[in-house]
Amino acid sequence: MHMLLRRIAAGVAIITVCLCVPRTVAAQEYERWYKQSEQQFLDLKQKARGGTKMTWDKLPDWTGVWTHDGGTRFDPKIPNYAPTSAKLTPEYRAKFEKKLADQKQGVEWDHLSYCLPAGFPRWITEPFLREFIVRPEEVWWINEQQSEVRRIYIDGRGHVPEDEAYATWTGDSIGFWDGDTLVVHTINNKEGQYNRGQPDYSDKVSTVERIRKVSADVIEDDITVYDPLSLVEPWHVVNRYVRVKTPNLRINMWSCEENNNVVKTQDGSTQFILKGETGYKDPNSLITGPGGTQPPK
Distance CA 109, CA 82 (A): 17
Task: Give the pLDDT score at 178.
Answer: 97
Q: pLDDT at position 289, please?
A: 55
Per-residue model confidence as pLDDT tens digits over 19-54: 333 334 466 666 777 788 999 999 999 999 999 999
Q: Residue 7 has what pLDDT?
A: 35
Domain ranges of the chain: 66-243, 255-297
Q: What is the pLDDT of residue 87?
A: 96
* pTM for this entry: 0.81
Give the per-residue pLDDT at 108: 80
How many Cα neighbours within 13 Å face the side chain of 33?
27
Indicate the average pLDDT of the chain.
83
Which pLDDT belongs to residue 17? 35
User: What is the per-residue pLDDT for 290?
Assistant: 55
Regions of the chain where pLDDT drops below 70: 1-30, 260-265, 267-270, 272, 286-297
DSSP for the chain, written as a single string: --EEEEE-TT---EEEEEESS---HHHHHHHHHHHHHHHHHHHHHHHTTT-----TTTS----S-EEETTTT-SSTTS-TTS--SS-B-HHHHHHHHHHHHHHHTT----GGGGT----TTGGGG--S-EEEEE-SSEEEEEETGGGEEEEEE-SS--PPPGGG---BSS-EEEEEEETTEEEEEEE-B--EESSTTS-EE-TT-EEEEEEEEEETTEEEEEEEEE-TTTBSS-EEEEEEEEE---TT--PPP--GGGG--EEE-TTS-EEEPPTTSTT---TTS---STT------
